[in-house]
């Protein structure tokens, strides 16, 4: 019967999945990709296409470039898959990826979504400079153990930012707090604590000020109910109503990403396959740690698109 007839989810990766050359071969082979990536240059008023295709890496990994690049990539690939007959039962996006997921589900169009992501990335970048922070991945402790350790730390701001899988949680906070708490986590049984190369303390109270610009932009948008539900980072539950979409996109900026719960909830609701749309295989790797019963596919190249639409 093939993937088209199966109960599957579109999964959109977030920041840190970017790579030089992303979408280049799709641009070369598909008219929809060419039109929308060229349009993105006009919307952003800089050459995002060159940054995506050629880098350099230190430019691509800047928050103000990474977030638009990832939105463009997932939207373009997802739209091509939908136009060729794939009919997802639902979608989800990891952090920034949620914006692509809602766009693909019809909450807003490409232009409005990219403008919103531009506002988000710029606001987060500025707040990151004003309130310096960082993040670290913690391997080998339970959610509850990490929550308790963060809650009992009183010398600065530190919290859980991403519940990625049962064995991987990301913490976020002040630079000194992350440095101080890392050896405590090791003492309590963490296998390792890996500091991430990020420009701010995402999904923490240090990002709260970025909500002002995002709230203003969201309030001016014509958001619509979606054609299929999107499991949100904020609640891990499916959303498709305008009010829920607004709340999800606004409040995920300073609240934890409930990715592991979202994937588990999708599976309990009957999803048996997932397609990661965008560069790298981060979400495919997390899926193996969350529940190996979920069969995962990846779509980051034109060949991947052909394979998925010809099964």
pLDDT digit string, tens, across residues 1-14: 356 556 899 999 99
Confidence (pLDDT) at 87: 94
* Residue 58: half-sphere exposure toward Cβ, Cα within 13 Å: 0
Structure tokens at 5: 């007839």
Q: Work out the pLDDT band at 134, boundaries 50, 70, 90.
A: very high
Q: Work out the pLDDT band at 53, boundaries 50, 70, 90.
A: very high
* Same fold? 3-129+209-309, 132-199: no
Active site residue 203: yes
Confidence (pLDDT) at 298: 97
Helix axis angle, 143-152 relative to 175-187, nearest 10°?
A: 130
Which residue shows structure tokens 């999803």?
271
Contact 160, 169 (CB under 8 A): yes
Matching CATH number, 132-199, of 3.30.413.10, 3.40.30.10, 3.30.70.890, 3.30.70.250: 3.30.70.250
The pLDDT of residue 186 is above 90 = yes
CA distance 257 to 131: 20
The pLDDT of residue 311 is above 80 = no
Supply the mean pLDDT for the chain: 96
Mean pLDDT of 76-98: 97
Active site residue 94: no
Confidence (pLDDT) at 198: 85
Q: Where are the domains of the chain?
A: 3-129+209-309, 132-199
Displacement of CA 230 from its chain's centroid (Å):
13
pTM over the 0.85 mark: yes
Q: One of 73, 95, 121, 301 is an active-site residue; which one?
A: 95
The pLDDT of residue 276 is above 90 = yes
Grouping H, G, I as helix, E, B as strand and the rest as coil, residue 8 is strand
Q: Is CATH 3.40.366.10 the classification given to domain 3-129+209-309? A: yes
Contact 7, 271 (CB under 8 A): yes
Containing H/E element for 11?
strand 8-12
Q: One of 203, 217, 236, 301 is an active-site residue; which one?
A: 203
Give me the DSSP letters along 13-32: --TT---TTTTHHHHHH-HH
pLDDT in tens, 156-181: 999 999 999 998 999 999 999 999 99
Mean pLDDT of 290-299: 96
Mean pLDDT of 295-300: 96
Q: Work out the pLDDT band at 302, boundaries 50, 70, 90.
A: very high
CA distance 24 to 143: 38
Containing H/E element for 67?
helix 63-83
Structure tokens at 163: 């519940």
Kindly state the percentage of the chain with pLDDT values over 90.
95
């Amino acid at each position: 019967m093939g993937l088209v007839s199966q109960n599957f989810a579109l999964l959109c990766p977030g920041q840190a999945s970017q790579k030089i050359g992303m979408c280049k071969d799709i641009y070369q082979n598909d008219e929809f990709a060419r039109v929308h990536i060229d349009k993105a240059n006009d919307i952003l008023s800089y050459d995002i296409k060159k940054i995506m295709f050629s880098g350099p890496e230190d430019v691509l990994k800047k928050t103000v470039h990474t977030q638009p690049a990832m939105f463009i990539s997932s939207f373009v690939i997802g739209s091509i898959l939908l136009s060729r007959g794939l009919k997802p039962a639902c979608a989800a996006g990891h952090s920034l990826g949620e914006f692509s997921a809602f766009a693909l589900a019809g909450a807003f169009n490409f232009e409005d979504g990219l403008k919103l992501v531009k506002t988000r990335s710029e606001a987060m970048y500025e707040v990151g400079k004003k309130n310096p922070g960082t993040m670290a991945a913690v391997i080998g402790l339970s959610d509850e153990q990490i929550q308790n350790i963060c809650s009992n730390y009183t010398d600065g701001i530190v919290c859980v930012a991403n519940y990625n899988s049962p064995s991987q949680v990301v913490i976020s906070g002040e630079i000194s707090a992350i440095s101080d708490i890392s050896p405590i986590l090791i003492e309590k049984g963490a296998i390792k604590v890996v500091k991430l190369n990020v420009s701010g303390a995402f999904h923490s109270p240090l990002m709260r000020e970025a909500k002002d610009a995002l709230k203003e932009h969201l309030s001016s948008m014509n958001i619509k109910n979606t054609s299929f539900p999107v499991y949100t980072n904020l609640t891990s539950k499916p959303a498709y109503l305008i009010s829920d979409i607004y709340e999800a996109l606004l409040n995920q900026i300073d609240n934890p990403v409930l990715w592991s719960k979202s994937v588990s909830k999708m599976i309990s609701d009957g999803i048996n396959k997932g397609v990661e749309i965008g560069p790298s295989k981060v979400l495919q790797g997390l899926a193996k740690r969350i529940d190996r019963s979920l069969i995962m596919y990846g779509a980051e190249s034109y060949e991947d698109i052909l394979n998925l639409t010809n099964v």
